Amino acid sequence: MRELFDAGFLRRLEQLALVSRRIFQGRLQGERRSPRRGTGVEFADFRPYTQGDDFRRIDWNAYARLDDLYLRLFLEEEELAVYLLVDASASMDVGEPVRKFDHARRVLAALGYVALAGLERVQVAAVGRGPEGGGRVPPPPLPLRNRHRFATLLEHLGALRADGAVDLAPGVDAFLGRSRRRGLVLVASDLLTPDPLAPLGRLRAAGHEPFVLHVLAPEEVDPAPGGEHRLVDAETGLALDISMNAQAVRGYRRRLEALSSAVSGWCRRHGVGLLRTVSSEPFEETVLRSLRLAGALR
């Protein structure tokens, strides 16, 4: 916990929060259509009047000047449910110099901090084996609000362990079973699972808005050629002998590219945010990029 979110991390996070808050809010709240729009006090925008709108929201001053009916829109005051869903299978426990799992948790923590600062409702969830399944993934903790609870959020994230062979699909199903409120689901996973798009589709179908953080280790993106190797699966422990020649590396890259383009194509089609990140890159960069990407998308 301490080594994962050390003082330097927190300091950088503070700076990041200042830069990112506006974007985040714009992305997450300001343009959200809500049945309860207008109940807030902060002015957001004008909108032409359409039949059925509340008369009380008409800006009469504008009507007097422009001779057109406009509604004054105010920012929604309602809190947004933000789920930090991290893939806690053993496959995430890979990566040099930074494990994918650590990178994913740092990025999620940063996004969670921003969400907390925006007074959103943030909840940490993990795809993995819980204690009842012989694993070390704790049951999902209670949702948090307010930036002062950030320490608790870090505790929740730090308590997670990447462990065991878990598929994304059953983990997502379990998450859906627990989370009643619809909201933004930040899924951090390496998506190295037989059918990674199905669980994402299920999240969407359940009314959630997924945002996919595709986390890969540098050696997965660019495996070093040369040598005879025995590849050991981190989850299953199964081994595979291979001559890591240029041909094999080429074949692997082709496969990985196919996976990535399948995921990105799906996300594009369904308007789902996607960020592909390598665990070796600085998490601030990932966070800023992801926030900008998210903000630019809508």
Contacting residues toward other proteins, per CB under 8 A: 91-92, 94, 100, 190, 192-194, 217, 219-220, 225-236, 238-243, 245-248, 251-252, 255-256, 259
Kindly tell me which of 72 and 161 has the beta carbon lying closer to other proteins: 161
From 156, 215, 212, 157, select the one nearest 187 (Cα to Cα). Answer: 212
Helix/strand/coil for 63: helix
Angle between helices 7-25 and 283-297 (to 10 degrees): 10
Q: Between 144 and 160, whose beta carbon lies closer to other proteins? A: 160
Minimum Å gap between C-beta 218 and other proteins is 12
How would you classify residue 209: left for phi > 0, otherwise alpha for psi between -120 and 50, otherwise beta?
beta
Tokens of 292: 């900008």
In the complex, what is the shortest distance from the CB of residue 33 to other proteins, in angstroms, rounded to a whole number?
39
Is 111 or 217 the residue whose CB approaches other proteins more closely?
A: 217
- Judged on CB neighbours under 10 Å (0-12, 13-18, 19+), 37 is buried
From the list 217, 238, 84, the residue with the least C-alpha distance to 165 is 238
Minimum distance from residue 283 beta carbon to other proteins (Å): 19
Between 142 and 246, whose beta carbon lies closer to other proteins?
A: 246
CB-wise, 61 or 245, nearer to other proteins?
A: 245
User: Measured from the CB atom, is 66 or 231 closer to other proteins?
Assistant: 231
N-to-C CA span, the chain: 34
Q: How far is the CB of 196 from other proteins (least distance, A)?
A: 10
* 121: helix, strand or coil: strand
User: Cβ 242 to other proteins, closest distance in Å?
Assistant: 6
Classify residue 193 by its DSSP letter: S
Structure tokens at 70: 């406009």
Smallest gap from Cβ 160 to other proteins, in A, equals 17
